Chain A
Amino acid sequence: MNGISSAFWDLLRPQAALAVGALAVLAAGASRRASLQVVKGLALAAVVVALLLLMTVRLQVVCLPLLRSDLLGSGLQAVFLSAAIPLLCLMEPADEVPPALVLGSLIGMGLIAVSGNLLMLFIGLELMSVPAYLLVARSRSPQALEASVKYFFAGGTASAIYLMGMALHFGAAGSLVLAPAPGPAGAAGLALMAAAAFFKLGAVPMHFWLPDVYEASDPELAGFFSTGLKAAAVLFLARLAPMAAPAGALVPALAWFAVLTILFGAVVALRQQNLQRLLAYSSISHAGFMMLAVAAWAKQGLAAPAAGALFFYLAAYLFMSGGAFLWLKAAGVRTRAELLGLAKARPRDAAVLAALLLALAGIPPTAGFAAKFLVFWEAFKAGLYAPLLLAGLGALISLGYYLGLIRDMYFDEAGPEPAKAVGPTPARWFALGCAAASVLLGLTPWLMDWFRPGMFGLRP
């Protein structure tokens, strides 16, 4: 192991744990003796160990041709690792493959978090996406296969576009390290790579795969996608941001795409009848806010508080959106019509969803508001005034369906086919936990103080 220095191991410990976990899961599955519960337990253990190891990763900047770590990276790593926990608990896999795939996807996300090199970024992207395609294919909904094929082809094209961008970048800069490349070729390369990042995030013109995938996959998987995958996609974008040739060159495009995403996502979600598809469009709208946060962060020369705002948004989003999808699983509700008059039939469930929706809408006492407030503030500090106003308008439009759902639940009488089926109780506990977190986290946005704003030093 002469070539691999000790620092190398420091950064990859969580990924190594996940890899070992994945292999263990496959081995247990192959041996036919271990039951599915054991397999899921193993996977869960791997994730927990990875989380613990993540704590030990020294948060300083380590620079190797391939790897580099910083607080934002490890912070978001914690986000998508914890996003996997409810998924692993609640998924009912046919065999041992889906848990392994989840671990594989987590490894991919981990690699994006610690990558300092465009190639590593690409491999992380692929390692995240390929298991995702398969996980979607294995979902129970009849259209699962269709969604996974769409996801595969769109994802494949995006990766190809990313590769072409990387090649152009390599042509211009001569190295694959995350550093700005001079000349038009570098800019073109960055543009293509950014296009791939926008695709992964679900930014508007490249978002068409997202609603189909979220609608077709199982609720808990869609929850994982909306929180875990989105956190990794944001991180992927955050890695690209400092590579703009003159500092902040990418920012105006990022800001205006963000506004387009927020508005389009909010408007289209108004009419959605399938709840998972509605939450998909709402997650597109929230992705817009995250893009705005990244733009603000890049515009302020990678200032720490902006990174803090981005992290807090994703942390809050983990509880809000993840909680919402888990609630769908717990309540066994699929369409908006089933929500009518739910408050009278199941007051506790309705209250949990109401709390989550208020958080998603960004109403003050909730974490959603604190997250939006921090993004608004950073956007203002970065001088993105017009995008800020339009983002506010998007938030207003998003109220239309968040409050619409609450209205359907509380103010209407039960519809023709009220929701009868009730999901597994652990799902209800997870949903309740997420709702509580998304409200309490709001009351103490000053949690940021614990992150010591100065810590988000991200020098390219």
Chain B
Amino acid sequence: MSGVVWSVSAALFLLGLAGVALRRQLLAMFLGLELMVLTAALALGCTASLSGRGEGFVAALLVLAVAAAEAVVGLVLILRVRSSGRPAETQSLRELKG
């Protein structure tokens, strides 16, 4: 069972990473980001329940809560980018460089 859990979480983590790194739209990257955090929560929760230690559950739960908070901030920022007239893509965020 833990083999399945770990392989799923590894796959999902890598997909999340790919999503963040490859996609151009900010929202798609954001989805990738959320996916990575969910995967971590998954790994924590499943390992906890398989190994019988309660600490993992608390961690998983709190991670979900933190992910939710992060989501709020992320979406607000992305919408601000959109409301300032620029398309919500990485190309529009190129001014700071050097």
Contact = CB atoms under 8 A, between A and B. Distances in A.
Interface string B31-50: 00100110111011001100
B11 interface: no
Contact of A170 (B29, B47, B81): B47
A335 interface: no
A311 interface: no
Contact of A166 (B20, B44, B95, B97): B44
A176 B59 contact: yes
B59 A166 contact: yes
Interface in B32-84: 33, 36-37, 39-41, 43-44, 47-48, 51, 53, 55-56, 58-59, 62-63, 66, 69-70, 73-74, 77-78, 80-81, 84
Contact of A149 (B26, B55, B62, B97): B26
B44 A167 contact: yes
B37 A170 contact: no
Nearest to B29: A153
A182 interface: no
A146 B93 contact: yes
Nearest to B56: A170
Which 5 residue pairs spanning A and B have beta carbons closest together?
A163-B40, A160-B36, A167-B43, A212-B96, A146-B93
Tier of interface size on chain B:
35 or more
A425 interface: no
Contacts of A157: 17, 20, 33, 36
A68 B75 CA distance: 35
Interface of B: 2, 6, 9, 13, 16-17, 20, 26, 29-30, 33, 36-37, 39-41, 43-44, 47-48, 51, 53, 55-56, 58-59, 62-63, 66, 69-70, 73-74, 77-78, 80-81, 84, 93, 95-98
Contacts, number: 113
Interface of A: 65, 119, 122-123, 126, 130, 133-134, 137, 142-143, 145-150, 152-153, 156-157, 159-161, 163-164, 166-168, 170-171, 174-176, 211-212, 215-216, 272, 274, 277
A322 to B, nearest CB: 22
A212 B94 CA distance: 10
B59 A160 contact: no
B82 to A, nearest CB: 11
Contact of B96 (A166, A168, A176, A215): A215
A170 B16 contact: no
B96 A175 contact: no
A152 B96 contact: no
Given A153-B26, A156-B74, 8 more contacts: A119-B55, A122-B66, A130-B73, A146-B93, A157-B20, A157-B33, A167-B40, A174-B53
B15 to A, nearest CB: 12
16 contacts: A130-B73, A145-B80, A146-B95, A152-B74, A152-B77, A153-B33, A157-B36, A163-B36, A166-B44, A167-B9, A167-B40, A171-B2, A174-B53, A175-B53, A176-B55, A274-B98
A160 B38 CA distance: 9
Contacts of A148: 77
B59 A159 contact: no
